[in-house]
Amino acid sequence: MLDDLTYTLWRVAELAALVMLPLFVWSMGRRVLHALDTIEYFAVPGMMRFSFLSGAITGLLLVVVNHDPSFYEFESVFHADGPWSVSFPELFTFWLDPGRYPPYELWLRVRGFDTGDPVTVLALLAAVLAGLVVVGCARYFGFGVLRAWLESAVIWCWGVTMAVYVVCATTWTLHVLNFWALVLAFFLYRYFTLKAAH
């Protein structure tokens, strides 16, 4: 009984850490960027959003081209000995290892510019957003353009990282919760439908 309680509390702590870690890093990162922002980068509308969105799209595409789609099927996610049956540290050392997401695989997928391929279309969208940021930096920041590009690159990398993190952390969480994930989904559904009704 005590062992089960300890195990459950430890799992709750791990899940809480999964949520708190990116929030803490983002909060600290924003403070640092704002403190070092001598060119008023964040005062330009859309600059940060476009950088982050471009990176997030790229991150999702890296997951798509480097992972077997079967990893995200119901049977794989909830199988006791499935690919997501790893410990909390292994989530970071295996699933969140940057080496699992080589950009070269994405380049191989999009280099033919097949506009019928959703991956190619989204990659083009990410490239357009990044291009707008590059042009916008050159237009608004003058001699501070290199600093603006550097800030944009940092935010872009954060977008890539967060996209990969959210996909892997969410899938791992569903595996850990197992049956309780369905119960939680039901309560969330009821909560939002009742809230929308009022």
Domain coordinates of the chain in residue numbers? Answer: 2-197
pLDDT score at 188: 63
Above 70 in pLDDT, residue 83? Answer: yes
Model pLDDT, residue 96: 92
Calpha distance 107→117 (Å, rounded): 13
* Amino acid letter for position 153: A
Higher pLDDT, 17 or 55: 55
**In this predicted model, what pLDDT tens digit does every residue of 66-80 receive, in sequence order?**
999 999 988 888 888
Confidence at residue 58, expressed as pLDDT on a 0 to 100 scale: 97
Q: What is the pLDDT of residue 2?
A: 52
CA separation, residue 47 to residues 35, 52, 158, 159, 171 (Å) = 17, 9, 14, 13, 30
Q: Look at phi and psi of residue 40 and say left if phi exceeds 0, alpha if psi is from -120 to 50, else beta.
A: left
| Identity of residue 62 | L
Give residue 183's pLDDT.
62
Identify whether the C-beta of residue 85 lies closer than 8 Å to the C-beta of residue 79: yes
pLDDT at 162: 94
C-alpha to C-alpha distance for 151 and 176, rounded to whole angstroms: 36
Q: Which two tokens stand for residue 63?
A: 């997951």
Question: CA neighbours within 13 Å on the CB side: how many for 170?
Answer: 8
138-197 tens-digit pLDDT: 999 988 899 999 999 999 999 999 999 999 999 998 888 776 666 666 666 666 676 666
pLDDT score for 9: 73
190 vs 61: which has the higher pLDDT: 61
Q: How confident is the model at residue 38 (pLDDT cuts 50, 70, 90)?
A: confident
Q: What is the mean pLDDT of the chain?
A: 87
Residue-level pLDDT at 67: 93
| Average pLDDT over every residue of 118-133 | 96
Q: Which class for 133: exposed (0-12), middle (13-18), buried (19 or more C-beta within 10 A)?
A: buried
